[in-house]
A and B are shown apart, each in its own frame.
Chain A
């Protein structure tokens, strides 16, 4: 590891590259799986990303669709491995996605138990936190109804409630808060503060940039798999929003070749 590494760093990514193979025929797929080196064309989802995240920090991850945010989140979680580069993570990571891993036939309460079970909790441990989760989600009598009857807001409240109670060292929240109403967001904000005080690291992956301004200590902007910059929400959010607006007005040709430079957008949109 490099000299810059210190004890407070809990996630250290160095020159992380992730290539996804694009198999066009079945034969190619077989070759790609069995042979170590194969000449299949690839899609580069992450290109030379080097970032660190510190203990007790709340980090936002922004970028347009397809910029590689979720891929980076999966790599940090350890679900998938980088094609090259190194990732070092200290502590348990838990990733939360709005309604992933929910079984729509099961009731809310069964889903709490099911998800805790997936996380490796024992029955006794689940009993201990179950009531807290139910109280936090605050969806009343619906907790005994099957999740298929839930509104998307209720689903994500339940999902968030479960995620913050399983107590990981690093919590990754992927697009989960974008559906909650403002009172629930306040509640989450309080929980995030609690987490921060307990020295845990939180990573927000979201398009909801206004929330990031209130939640996050630091924001990381990636675009087309490349790191554009990191900084405080004030330094990043406005330039990012400006870029996103410009991007909307671009033709498809322009979109392919555009690669923002942070300083230019900061000059343009800050102040």
Chain B
């Protein structure tokens, strides 16, 4: 039993120290990942701002002009409420789906040089993190332009960005490893995210009379993050509203992160031969 704990401790320690030692390199690698994504485009790095701006424009057109969904979400225009949710969701969704393929897509390097593999999925998360920070700038422009007052709890927003990033990283360690062995995983996760999109408060909020949905929302780590973003930006954040969901969120996140480290360390020597 003690041996098992030592093993888990060792795996987590190795992965965390590998990430920590390479923290600078990681963001520089992420920069090149973004650079090669936008390589050959006229706007280049500006796409990090243009992408969310155009995305928001589409939603604005559909919901504010087309469907004329005017009803406010607790005193906030629906489109503002939606934009925060969409951008937050987009970060988690893109980072996680990208992480699935991260090791496979990096195989040309991994097969040819000795490289700390643990940082490969994390650098994909880092690239999405950079994009997300750019997107949040656009979100603030939208919030301010709409005349919606920004809440005083805004200083807690970095905590939610941090929390979502840790959550994504835990998932990334698991999914990038599984996907090397079982490529079908990415297809399944793609579908799962489409489903999760609808059971998370991205485009709508569950009504109070549906008990099952309320429970799902409480357990759903995505809901915790989405609500956190909106509370800190729009409504004001209160500890009492978030403590139970917060504990559930961190329990899920820690279990996932530890499982990710163990799985990664267990299989990393084998999967070089499988890439």
Contacts and interface: CB of A to CB of B under 8 A. Distances in A.
Contacts, number: 66
7 closest pairs, A vs B, by CB?
A: A105-B39, A100-B112, A105-B36, A101-B109, A103-B36, A78-B114, A114-B32
Interface of A: 20-21, 26, 29-30, 33, 74, 77-81, 93-95, 97, 100-101, 103, 105-106, 110, 113-114, 117-120, 122-123, 146, 174
A97 B110 CA distance: 12
Given A77-B112, A106-B32, A110-B32, 15 more contacts: A26-B182, A29-B181, A30-B181, A33-B270, A79-B111, A79-B114, A95-B113, A100-B108, A101-B108, A101-B109, A103-B39, A122-B24, A123-B28, A146-B39, A146-B40
B112 A117 contact: no
Interface in B75-131: 108-115
21 contacts: A33-B181, A77-B113, A79-B111, A79-B112, A79-B272, A80-B273, A95-B113, A97-B112, A103-B39, A105-B37, A105-B39, A105-B40, A106-B35, A106-B36, A113-B32, A118-B109, A118-B113, A118-B115, A120-B25, A122-B24, A146-B40
A101 B115 CA distance: 12
A74 B110 CA distance: 10
Contacts of B111: 74, 79, 100
A174 B35 CA distance: 28
B68 interface: no
Nearest to A80: B272
Contact of B114 (A30, A93, A106): A93
A193 B109 CA distance: 28
B35 A110 contact: yes
B234 to A, nearest CB: 39
Contacts of A110: 32, 35
Given A79-B111, A95-B112, A101-B112, A117 B35 contact: no
Nearest to B33: A103
Q: How large is the interface on B (under 10, 10 to 19, 20 to 34, 35 or more residues)?
A: 20 to 34
Contacts of B25: 117, 120
B191 to A, nearest CB: 19
B269 interface: yes
A106 B25 CA distance: 18
Contacts of B181: 29-30, 33
Nearest to A74: B111
A119 B40 contact: no
Nearest to B24: A122
B57 interface: no
A105 B40 CA distance: 7
A33 B182 CA distance: 12
Contacts of B113: 77, 79, 94-95, 101, 118-119
A146 B36 CA distance: 10
B114 A20 contact: no
Contacts of A94: 113
B29 interface: yes
A114 to B, nearest CB: 5
A106 B272 CA distance: 26
B267 interface: yes
Interface string B218-253: 000000000000000000000000000000000000
A186 to B, nearest CB: 26
Nearest to B22: A120
A63 to B, nearest CB: 19
Nearest to B114: A78
A113 B115 CA distance: 16
A236 B25 CA distance: 44
Contacts of A77: 112-114
A93 B119 CA distance: 20
Nearest to A19: B273
Contacts of B35: 105-106, 110
